[in-house]
Structure 1
Amino acid sequence: MFLKSFFDENLAQNSYMVGCQKTGEALVIDPARDIQPYLETANKNALRITKVTETHIHADFLSGSRELANETGGALYLSSEGDEEWKYNFVKNLNHKWLKDGDYFHVGNVRLDVLHTPGHTPESLSFLLTDKGGKAPVPMGIFTGDFVFVGDVGRPDLLEKSIGASGTAEQGARAMFQSLSRFKELPDFIQVWPGHGAGSACGKSLGAVPSSTVGYEKITNWALTIGDENQFVTTLIDGQPEPPSYFRVMKKFNKEGPDLLPLDGSLDRIKPEEILYGEYTIIDTRSKEKFAYGHIEGSLNIPVNKSFANWSGWLLDYHQDITLVADDQKVDDIIRTLQSIGFDRTVGYIESTDVDNITDLEIYKNITVKELEDTLKREDYVIIDVRNQSEWEEGHMDQAVHIMLGTLPNRLDEIPKGKKVIVHCKSGGRSAIAASILQANGFKEVINVTGGYDAWKRYMETIK
């Protein structure tokens, strides 16, 4: 048997390839939209991808199932569980098979048993793997998707928070409780291969370890240690992070079928002066320090790091063309990351160093927490705290207004006009993005607090 995991650190997302070396067949589970790693792995190991499957309709990334099936001719094996609202709609003219609880299928001599494990979503499936080619008398592991993670379980509130399906959070939580009861009946030695790791917004406390076992999760996973259903429901729903706004779009795209990627994915480099006059959103991917020192008026600063996909999903418009300010060697990776969450309308870029050739650049000021204290004594400012709700509740400046970063573009009218604006977050990263949003929307006198609330808290303790 062949087994390989693939991890996309931009989305904290796991996908898997299972193969039978005797027959040369392979299955890909929960593929990302960039299918090249699967094709290369199959080719390297003399395997043919004959089947493609998903654990559920994903909300946090654009699935590569349609792309992979189109490229390889592999059959799609997809859930037929849940209500009619959450069925795959794009498979009519594709080779496919519907899966329900109790079904099983083979990849060569490897058997996959289908378990319906609702909770995160109504149609959620898990796949129990048994290596029949190795004459194994028991299953080896289970692909849990967004059902069970290392140290956590899938959040049940996305349908309610993302698309307004009232009451589905509690329904999902109660379904999760029942699914976990079934999970607990599995042998302790069963390996657990989850769909996400730490950094995903599909849960609230995911572990960074890539895999686990049923027995270990029974002991250490908080969700498997609560025996009372009502207590479990309350605990599961409470404290879930704000779901990025693009989750709603991903659900729709993955249900109806994502577009196939264009054959030519290259991007044209444009002249610096050309970027000033187009009808598009300019995304400056340089560091917050370089952006603050000088940037194109109206551009948004989303630096390339592990949070790039998340904040792009929160802040960008699917109906607008995009141009980039980026280093040449990073452009292809940036394009793939944007495409992984459905942004296919990137039309060009300028090299980062070309910004220096543009006149009339904007700047914004960074100040320390000591300078912040002095500034507040002298002048009239509004302070915007762009951290998450849970961070705000743990402590905040008395005079601050709370507007979480992802919601800022839609809440600009809550910021008093005619005042200078100070923004802060936990350490200065998210507030730098906020500063770019504010300047792009006409709030020109913006100041970012270096070190954020953490530095402010430490400073206030020293002067008591």
Structure 2
Amino acid sequence: MFFQHIYDKSLAQASYLIGCQAKGEAIVIDAKRDIDTYLQIAQENNLTITHITETHIHADFLSGSRELAEVTGAKIYLSDEGGEDWQYQFPHIGLTNGNIIKVGNLTLKVIHTPGHTPESISFLLTDHPATDEPVMIFTGDFVFVGDIGRPDLLEKAAGITGTQEKGAKEMFHSVQDFSKLPEFIQVWPGHGAGSACGKALGAVPSSTVGYEKIRNWAFQHKDEDGFIEYLLEGQPEPPKYFAMMKKLNKVERPLLTEVPKHKKLSKGEFLKAYNNGVKIIDTRNKVDFTRGFISNSINIQGNNSFSTWMGWIVDYSEPFILVAQEEEMEDLTRKLMRIGMDQTMGYIDQVENLELDLQTADVIDIEEFKTYLNREDVQVVDVRNKTEYEAAHIENAENIFVGTLEDHLYKISRDKQVVIHCQSGDRAAIAYSLLRKRGFKNVKNYSGGMKEWLENNNTVIQ
């Protein structure tokens, strides 16, 4: 048996290519959209991708199953569980509980595991030449290392009311069934630490059924009501783009089978677009941005969180231009592809020599920050998420999460001195640029944030 775990750090998302080397056949589970990764792995190992499948209709990334099928001719196998409202609306081979997918000498048994979503399924893999006992289970967003999938996304992200309590009940029963599996079975989940699909995902890529029964909180709760209460409390706010992913992963959509190459814009092309109001996303390091940035541009750094914050801040109907180096563009384009954000107009690689007056950011240190605390003429805004804020925050700081900042501008004073901060500066850089873009002039950024505040043993409200 051939096995490859493919991990996208930018979305903390795992996919898998599993092959039967004797027959030369392979299956891909939960493919990301830049599919050249799988084509290369298959070619290097003399495998043909003959089967493609998914654990559920994903909310956090745009699945590449259809792109992969288009290029390879492989058949797509998808869940037909969950009822009429949870069906994929494009051609596929339907799967229900107990079905078997045969890939050469390997089999994958379908187990319906509702809770995260009604149609969620897991795959129990048996490598028959070695043993007739199952050896692995691919759980998608059902069981993670140290956590389980959240059942509230359909309600919070997709706006489908009344689903989180039902999902939590289903999750309780799915967990009970999972605990009956042999303890030696390896658990390979769809996400790792950093994903918004749970609240306490482990950083190691895999586990076993036995280990999860010992350490995963979900297996310690035998009382259904207590389980549901704990599962639903403290879940992070789902990014805005999740609703679009739910839709695009379910319906027919245009396919993108290659990583596109975006044009470097001339000064004239850039200025024409800029003067017409096209959004400018500056992907440079936050320190470089503060020293000189284009008026009205938004600083979303091109790090592992780039796609997530793009999904929070940029609407899918909006074209945009990136500020980035040529050698960074392929990585940034892949990150955007993975959430279906395909409206890049091009890029520029510097902000000087554009005949524009560059702006600078007002960044303050911890000592200056202290001089603004507990003053009537100052508003301190903590742009971290609600859970972080409730765990510990600076006295009298107000919580306005950066992801929804533009929806709550009315809460921010245009008369007082505004001072913003986050945990360690990245989100505050986004917030600062958004506020400046929206015409707030009296804004200062305490970039050290809660990390520096706590390291210096300052007091917090808990």
Common topology (TM > 0.5): yes
1:192 paired residue among 184, 187, 191: 187
Give the Cα–Cα distance (whole angstroms) in 2 for the partners of residues 388 and 358 of structure 1. 38
Given that 1:364 and 1:445 are in contact with CA atoms closer than 8 Å, whether structure 2 keeps it comes out as no
Instruction: Please say if 1:266 is aligned against 2:261.
Output: yes
Please name the residue that 1:336 is paired with. Answer: 334
Describe how 1:49-198 pairs up with structure 2 within 5 A: 49-91=49-91, 96-132=92-128, 134-198=129-193
**What per-residue deviation string (whole Å, max 9, x for no partner) do you get for residues 336-371 of structure 1?**
1011101001011001x3436553011111101210
Q: Structure 1 378/78 Cα, relative in aligned 2: closer, same or farther at 3 Å? A: closer
**What per-residue deviation string (whole Å, max 9, x for no partner) do you get for residues 385-439 of structure 1?**
1011011112323332211010001111221223332111112221111001111
Structure 1 counterpart of 2:167, one-letter code: G
Q: Structure 1 428/445 Cα, relative in aligned 2: closer, same or farther at 3 Å? A: same
The percentage of aligned residue pairs carrying the same residue is: 53
Instruction: Please say if 1:222 is aligned against 2:217.
Output: yes
Describe how 1:211-250 pairs up with structure 2 within 5 A: 211-250=206-245
Please name the residue that 2:197 is paired with. Answer: 202
Give the Cα–Cα distance (whole angstroms) in 2 for the partners of residues 61 and 142 of structure 1. 21
SS at match of 2:230: helix
CA RMSD of aligned residues (A): 1.8
Please report how far the alpha carbon of residue 376 of structure 1 lies from its aligned counterpart in structure 2 after TM superposition. 4.9
Give the Cα–Cα distance (whole angstroms) in 1 for the partners of residues 454 and 259 of structure 2. 50
Q: Structure 1 44/208 Cα, relative in aligned 2: closer, same or farther at 3 Å? A: same
Please name the residue that 1:287 is paired with. Answer: 285
- Normalised by the length of structure 1, the TM-score is 0.95
Instruction: Please say if 1:407 is aligned against 2:404.
Output: yes
Instruction: Please say if 1:299 is aligned against 2:297.
Output: yes
Give the Cα–Cα distance (whole angstroms) in 2 for the partners of residues 224 and 51 of structure 1. 33
Please report how far the alpha carbon of residue 53 of structure 1 lies from its aligned counterpart in structure 2 after TM superposition. 0.1
Instruction: Please say if 1:322 is aligned against 2:320.
Output: yes
Please report how far the alpha carbon of residue 159 of structure 1 lies from its aligned counterpart in structure 2 after TM superposition. 0.6
Given that 1:63 and 1:258 are in contact with CA atoms closer than 8 Å, whether structure 2 keeps it comes out as no
Instruction: Please say if 1:372 is aligned against 2:369.
Output: yes
Give the Cα–Cα distance (whole angstroms) in 2 for the partners of residues 54 and 358 of structure 1. 50
Structure 1 counterpart of 2:173, one-letter code: Q
Please report how far the alpha carbon of residue 231 of structure 1 lies from its aligned counterpart in structure 2 after TM superposition. 0.5
Given that 1:66 and 1:258 are in contact with CA atoms closer than 8 Å, whether structure 2 keeps it comes out as no
Give the Cα–Cα distance (whole angstroms) in 2 for the partners of residues 219 and 432 of structure 1. 41
Structure 1 counterpart of 2:21, one-letter code: Q
Given that 2:67 and 2:257 are in contact with CA atoms closer than 8 Å, whether structure 1 keeps it comes out as no
Instruction: Please say if 1:276 is aligned against 2:276.
Output: no
Structure 1 counterpart of 2:226, one-letter code: Q
Given that 1:62 and 1:341 are in contact with CA atoms closer than 8 Å, whether structure 2 keeps it comes out as yes
Give the Cα–Cα distance (whole angstroms) in 2 for the partners of residues 272 and 396 of structure 1. 44
Structure 2 counterpart of 1:18, one-letter code: I
Give the Cα–Cα distance (whole angstroms) in 1 for the partners of residues 440 and 227 of structure 2. 45
Give the Cα–Cα distance (whole angstroms) in 2 for the partners of residues 430 and 363 of structure 1. 17
Please name the residue that 1:355 is paired with. Answer: 352
Instruction: Please say if 1:313 is aligned against 2:311.
Output: yes
**What per-residue deviation string (whole Å, max 9, x for no partner) do you get for residues 36-75 of structure 1?**
0100011111111111000000000000001001111100
Structure 2 counterpart of 1:34, one-letter code: D
Structure 2 counterpart of 1:310, one-letter code: T
Q: Structure 1 14/368 Cα, relative in aligned 2: closer, same or farther at 3 Å? A: same
**What per-residue deviation string (whole Å, max 9, x for no partner) do you get for residues 92-128 of structure 1?**
xxxx310000111200110110000001000000000
Given that 1:384 and 1:423 are in contact with CA atoms closer than 8 Å, whether structure 2 keeps it comes out as yes
Given that 2:194 and 2:201 are in contact with CA atoms closer than 8 Å, whether structure 1 keeps it comes out as yes
**What per-residue deviation string (whole Å, max 9, x for no partner) do you get for residues 279-310 of structure 1?**
42111000111111110111110011111111
Please report how far the alpha carbon of residue 22 of structure 1 lies from its aligned counterpart in structure 2 after TM superposition. 1.3
SS at match of 1:235: helix
Give the Cα–Cα distance (whole angstroms) in 1 for the partners of residues 130 and 369 of structure 2. 68
Please name the residue that 1:29 is paired with. Answer: 29
Q: Structure 1 286/379 Cα, relative in aligned 2: closer, same or farther at 3 Å? A: farther
Instruction: Please say if 1:425 is aligned against 2:428.
Output: no
Give the Cα–Cα distance (whole angstroms) in 1 for the partners of residues 149 and 355 of structure 2. 47
SS at match of 1:5: strand
Please report how far the alpha carbon of residue 460 of structure 1 lies from its aligned counterpart in structure 2 after TM superposition. 6.7
